[in-house]
Structure 1
């Protein structure tokens, strides 16, 4: 996987993986799917133009839609925002 500035750090991923509670074996990791979503949101690219190093756009779109509808995306946003706020206070 190519590294992009939008990729989750290890500490961010540890935080998110706790709320997903998913241990299924998969062809693509959920971390890779989140990284693709964050890339898309930050760059504003079209779904079909997500770089090939990420899972295919249909899979990323499926998870984004599913997580958006069941509140996971909002929960992820809040967790990462709170983590960043806490880290900036510690500096």
Structure 2
């Protein structure tokens, strides 16, 4: 995950390693509840949340998940999907009351 979470190299050195921030984010995700209830051995919740928001805004999470998905897929198949599937049961038509009356006026 390191290539996706690199520092820009500008400014002062960060107070917390990216790994610590990831551990805190994953802990909160797993445990649930308020971010302010993070254990004291993790970075401050404000720091963790600020970094989470920054990664969300700049697309880091999307790039990270896409890269990890490619790596996992490469173990057994092509890195990118080549086809998709649509579930025909998702769209119900026919004798359903909502589908039949929504397009035709009701006769009395």
Choose the corresponding residue for 2:42, options 54, 62, 67.
54
Q: In the alignment, what sits opposite 1:20?
A: 5
Structure 2, unpaired ranges of 5+: 77-108
Determine which structure has more spread, i.e. the larger CA radius of gyration.
2
Q: Which has the higher contact order (CA 8 A, sep 6+)?
A: 1
Q: How many residues align?
A: 74
Cα RMSD (Å) of the superposition?
A: 2.2
In the TM superposition, residue 77 of structure 1 has moved relative to its aligned partner by 2.3
Q: TM-score, normalised by structure 2?
A: 0.57
**Counterpart Cα distance in 2 of 1:55 and 1:77:** 23
Q: TM-score, normalised by structure 1?
A: 0.65
CA contact (8 A) 2:5 2:18 kept: no
Q: In the alignment, what sits opposite 1:77?
A: 65
Structure 1, unpaired ranges of 5+: 1-15
